Every structure is written in structure tokens, then in C-alpha cells.
Amino acid sequence: MPSVLQNASESLWLIVGVALVAIVVAARVLWLITVGRRVAGGVRTARAATFAKLQRSLSLAIKSLWLHKLRSFLSVLGIIIGTSSVIALMAFGEGSMQDALEDIKRQGATNIMVRSVKPSDDSLTSQKSWVTAYGLTKRDLERISTFGDAIVRIVPLRVFPSEARFRERQVNARVIGTVPDYADVQKFELASGRFLTEADDRDRKNVCILGSEIADKLFPFENPLDRGIEVRGAEFIVVGVIRERMPTGGSGGSQAAEEFNRDIYIALNTSVDFFGEVISVRTSGSRVNEKVQYNQITITVSNIDKVRPVGEAIKSLLKQEHGGKNDWVVTIPLDRLEEAERAKTRFTTLMAMIASISLLVGGIGIMNIMLATVTERTREIGIRRALGAKQKDITLQFLIEAVVQTTIGGLCGVVFGIAMVFTVPIVWEWFAPTPLPAKIHRLSIAISLVFSVVVGVVFGLYPAWRASRLDPIEALRHD
């Protein structure tokens, strides 16, 4: 809804601009018609005669449509639905894609994430050794730190799947050992208390910060601050609670999903002292011992232009340090951002094509009604031809009728489409827990209007041509 309100003024200015252009064009036409009338008693210029014919044809078209109000409304209903569909679908598609892009930007377009990945061939190694060692090491962290001014911040973390207890309550959680800068990287908002500090990490304090879901399950009726919870036999004092937030989705095998609400955060040095460097994981009734010094290292780069070069340098470094062992993966959110922007363009084009089908269907409806009108007004056409009307005059009359219908339908569709963009998100919030983002696509308004007029010309041309080709004698005999 905020995105809709943000673009409301721009959309209103666009509508005002279109209205001003229409007023100027109408004033110009009226001025030319006035000139034509002024010289009617003398030598009439070709321009004045042409606009006089246009005036008569427009007047006849409007009268014909007014005499058959219901039929005219039904014929333009397809244009109204098509035009409003183009505007509404483009707005909702633009809003959804923009929301996705902003979500990627919030993850940090200047962040490079390096993750430890267990190689597929470690299944053989684990049979020969009690401990499987893989992933990022302290040496990797030290080598990355030497990249100079291009790197602003380096945030390592370790992950321990574990049970957490408070009295008789128990939950399964991820215990994450990290540094204070992790809160800035993930843009955490605290519901209460504080996050980790340098003193917590330096002094190896046994303090922790709870995700919102963990806090609700362990402390459903009381304040968790300054309470002690048990994790793997060690007691940690709760000093903060993270505000609830949406999890991040995984991207193939390069980025794992992050369930922040189910995490417990402790200081990195504290995790080494309490749990050591070997992580025990229970899988299918067995226990697997893994030695992973860092599960992830997040590197913040000073400039967005340096993200990809630094990422490639990190890949080269890790290939050199780890040899042929594929136990790491580098994820650059900038790649995801650019890919999402390309997907946005494809998605917007697809939505426009789908919505344009409604306009084509509406155009077919216009042509159908116009063909029926030609048959109904055959005698009238014969009388006009007998009185001296030329074929181009008949063509112009029926073509103007078709264009007037589609123009009126296009204008009504624009109003209806903009109204949908403002009202549907409000109604959506009554029935759905998540908001429906919408952002008015200004270009779609102009395209839909132009396209509706073009539809009137294209689909009205054949009925107009057919009317002009009627034989006057046969037309007069028609009952």
C-alpha cells in the first residue's frame, strides 16, 4: 500500500497531462471547425471542408451510439476490461517485483557470502575417520582480511543444531556463534534487550540472544531477559530478543535458507570454548562428527563496483587454499539482484502480453457489433449514397463510430484500472495475512490508451470498408 501511495501523485500528474493534451487538441479542432464555418459562405478551403465532414461524422457517430446505449456499452465492455486489466496487472506485477528487488537489496547488495559445503565424496572419508573436516578455516579468514581497503567488514559465524531448555520446556534450534557486526549485516531489529557486544566476545561471556519464535516457546508467559537457558549442558543468560522477521529463501545450492526466528545467538569465542571445534550432528539414528571452523563468512565490500572483482579474488584464493576440494561456495547477492532485474523485465513483458489478449478480445467484440450495425443500417447507407455521399464518407462515418467506442472504453478502463490498484490491496489485507504490493506502471496507462484507439481503427476498418462497398440500389431495396 505505501508503494501505491508513493506513486499516486505521479499518476495523477500523468492523468492531468493527458487531459491537458486532450483539451489542447480539442481546442485546436474546434478552432478549425470555427474557421470552416466562417468561410462557409465564400470559398471553402480544403482543410475547413475536411473538418466539417469530421464534425458531421462525429456527430452522427455519437447519436448512433446514444440511440443504442446497451449495445454500445456491451461492445465497449471488452475494451474497458482489457484496458483496466493491463493497468492493474502491470501495477501488481511491478509492485511484486519491486518488493522482491528491495528484499534482495536489504540482504546487502555489497555483501559477499562464503559458505562451507560438505563435499559429496566425504561419505567415504567419514568411514575411515571419526571426524570429517571440511569447510572454511581460520587461515581463509586471515587471507581474506589482507585484501585491503576494498573490504569494510568481515563477519564469521558457526552453526550448531541443538536443543534448548528452560525448565520443562524444550525446543530444537540453531545455535549461532558470531560477532556483534552480524546484527548490522542482517539488519536485525530488537524487540527487547541488546545484541552481542565486543566485550561479550572478548571475555567469552555466556550470554545469548533469542529469535522471536524461540522466545515465545521457551517463555510464553514471562519476560525472557536475564533468564538462563540450557544449551548442550551449558547455561546462557538471555540478554536480548530479535523482533520477528521473514526468513530468507535459499537460492539453489549456493545459499541456504535463514530461519532467523528459530536461532539462538552467542559470541563466537564463547562457542569455541563451550562446544569446541567439532560439531556433533544426529542423523537417522546415528551421530556424525564434523570439524568446521566457520560455517559462513560474510564480507562487506566498500563499493558496489568492487563486489564482483573481490568475489572473483576470493574464489581464486579458496581454490588455491583448498586445492581440488569443493567444500566452499561463494554467493554474490549482486548477481541475484541483476538476475532479478532481468526477470522483472521478462515478467513485465509477459504480464503485458497476457493483459493485451483482453484488448484483442474486446476488439473482436467491436468488429462483431459493427458488422451487425452495417447490416442493420443498410437502408440508411443506401439513402446516403443516393444523396451523393462517397464511399470514403461512409467509411469515415463507421470508422469514427468504432474509434469513439474504443476511446471511451479506454478512458473508462483507465479510471477503473487505477481504482483497482488503490482498492484491491486494501480489500486483500482483510483476507490475507501478507500485503499485496502494487506500484502504478505509468507507461501502461499510455500504452493501454493508445492500444485501445488502435484496436478501434484496426477492428473497425473492415466493417467500415464493407459498408462503403454496398451497392446503393441493393441497399435501398433492403428492408
Mean pLDDT calculated for residue range 332-348: 72
The more confidently predicted of residues 261 and 400 is 261
Mean pLDDT calculated for residue range 379-408: 75
Decide if pLDDT at 403 tops 90: no
Mean pLDDT calculated for residue range 89-106: 73
Q: State the pLDDT at residue 33.
A: 44
Q: State the pLDDT at residue 135.
A: 84
Q: For residue 182, which of 120, 108, 250 has the smallest C-alpha distance?
A: 108
Decide if pLDDT at 177 tops 50: yes
Mean pLDDT calculated for residue range 192-214: 93
The overall average pLDDT reported for the chain is 76
Mean pLDDT calculated for residue range 261-265: 92
Q: How far apart are CA 267 and CA 239, in angstroms?
A: 12
Q: How confident is the model at residue 29 (pLDDT cuts 50, 70, 90)?
A: very low
Decide if pLDDT at 334 tops 50: yes
Phi, psi of 179 (to 5 degrees): -115, 165
Q: What is the DSSP string of 74-137?
A: HHHHHHHHHHHHHHHHHHHHHHHHHHHHHHHHHTTTTEEEEEE---TTHHHHHHH-SEEE-SB-
* Segment among 32-41, 70-79, 308-317 with least mean pLDDT: 32-41
Q: State the pLDDT at residue 383.
A: 76
Q: State the pLDDT at residue 255.
A: 44
Q: How confident is the model at residue 347 (pLDDT cuts 50, 70, 90)?
A: confident
Write the CB contacts of 426 (distance below 8 Å, at least 6 apart in sequence).
1
Q: Which range in 110-114, 187-191, 236-240, 283-287 is most confidently predicted, on average pLDDT? A: 236-240
